[in-house]
């Protein structure tokens, strides 16, 4: 913080005492969340031990569960029917296509070429990297309901520092696939059981630049998909067996965390489960 002109006299050393957190300071987000959480706790909410940004409260037959990330609160519209609950981001997907001028583009049948190998050194650098970074950031938000985009967006996110033309072309291919699948989302069946289960897999030495492996998992609550992830490891594995073990370890940690969340949501579930490879 810089004192206003004329406030500091030459030869004096003065400091400013912060009486109220200001937007833009490092402490602002922490102070805001502290006040927000204290207000919820004072009104009878319980803070989750698995996710400190999750608060729950039971009022008779009603159950309230606000989930807040710093200063962002998302209000989502969810469709309900006798078959279950449907979550979709069609409006947001069409807005991305419209902004990129691809509403009239030819749809693609898959998000990315199966044998596509992107590199940091192949291709011409993009004149305006902001275009690629903004597009990739908007696509990341779509992975909330679009599991089929997780692996492709994870790969495109690795070239945010110096994007090249092949990276932008691959991102546009994802948009063409999005045009054909913009109405697709996640369905949580009403007749599903509450048995947690998971599927995990890995691709040994998948990255052509660093030779790091890629792993992914899907977690189901009965027939409902509730969590998924695709990530590149930070270290190089010497064998495929080590990669598979790490994938199962990550999946087991996710299952343990989800079990704690289910307890916070007051959802009864079987006490034992095992990941499926």
Tokens representing 62 are 């009603």
pLDDT, residue 241, reads 83
pLDDT, residue 69, reads 67
Q: Are the beta carbons of 217 and 251 closer than 8 angstroms?
A: yes
Domain boundaries, the chain: 1-75, 90-181, 192-277
Map tokens 């792993």 to a residue.
215
The 3-class secondary structure across 171-235, one letter per residue, is HHHHHHHHHHHCCCCEEEECCCCCCEEEEEEEECCCCCCCCCCEEEEEEEECCEEEEEEEEECCC
Q: What is the pLDDT along the chain (277 residues), one digit of tens a residue?
A: 666 777 766 767 777 776 666 666 777 777 888 888 899 899 999 888 888 888 888 888 777 888 776 656 655 577 777 888 888 888 888 999 999 898 888 999 889 887 788 888 888 999 888 999 999 988 988 888 888 888 888 888 888 888 999 899 999 999 999 999 888 888 888 888 888 888 888 888 777 677 788 888 888 888 888 888 888 877 787 888 888 888 888 888 888 888 888 887 777 776 554 544 4
- Candidates 104, 184, 101, 108; CA nearest to 135 is 101
> Around Cβ 185, how many Cβ atoms within 10 Å?
18
Q: Are the beta carbons of 110 and 170 closer than 8 angstroms?
A: no
Tokens representing 1 are 């913080």
Q: How far apart are CA 148 and CA 150, in angstroms?
A: 6
Q: Are the beta carbons of 158 and 151 closer than 8 angstroms?
A: no
Q: Return all residues near 27 (Cβ < 8 A) that are at least 6 apart.
A: 18, 21
Q: How far apart are CA 31 and CA 37, in angstroms?
A: 10
Q: Are the beta carbons of 186 and 87 closer than 8 angstroms?
A: yes
Map tokens 């489960």 to a residue.
273
Segments of 60-182 assigned E as strands: 62-64, 79-81, 84-87
Q: How far apart are CA 22 and CA 1, in angstroms?
A: 10
pLDDT, residue 176, reads 93
Please, what sign has the CA dihedral across residues 48, 53, 54, 55?
Answer: positive
Q: Residue 144 in 3-state DSSP?
A: coil
Q: Return all residues near 239 (Cβ < 8 A) that are at least 6 apart.
A: 204
pLDDT digit string (tens) for 67-107? 776 656 655 577 777 888 888 888 888 999 999 898 888 99
């Amino acid at each position: 913080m810089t004192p206003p002109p004329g406030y500091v006299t030459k030869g004096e050393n003065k400091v400013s005492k912060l009486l109220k957190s200001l937007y833009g300071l490092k402490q602002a987000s922490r102070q805001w969340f502290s006040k927000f959480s204290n207000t919820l706790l004072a009104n009878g909410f319980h803070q989750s031990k698995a996710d400190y940004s999750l608060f729950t409260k039971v009022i008779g037959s009603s159950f309230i569960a606000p989930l807040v990330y710093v200063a962002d609160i998302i209000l989502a519209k969810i469709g309900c029917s006798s078959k279950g609950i449907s979550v979709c981001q069609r409006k947001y997907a069409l807005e991305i296509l419209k902004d990129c001028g691809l509403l009239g583009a030819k749809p693609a049948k898959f998000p990315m070429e199966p044998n596509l190998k992107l590199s940091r050194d192949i291709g011409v650098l993009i004149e305006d990297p902001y275009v690629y970074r903004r597009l990739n950031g908007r696509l990341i938000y779509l992975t909330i309901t679009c599991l089929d985009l997780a692996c492709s967006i994870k790969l495109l996110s690795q070239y945010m520092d110096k994007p090249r033309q092949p990276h932008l072309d691959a991102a546009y291919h994802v948009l063409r696939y999005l045009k054909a699948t913009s109405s697709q989302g996640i369905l949580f069946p009403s007749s599903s059981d509450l048995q947690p289960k998971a599927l995990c897999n890995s691709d040994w030495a998948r990255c052509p630049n660093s030779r790091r492996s890629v792993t992914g998992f899907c977690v189901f609550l009965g027939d409902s998909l509730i969590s998924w992830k695709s990530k590149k490891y930070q270290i190089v594995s010497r064998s495929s067996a080590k990669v598979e073990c790490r994938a199962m370890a990550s999946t087991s940690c996710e299952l343990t965390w989800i079990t704690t969340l289910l307890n916070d949501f007051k959802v009864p579930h079987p006490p034992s489960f095992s990941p499926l490879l």
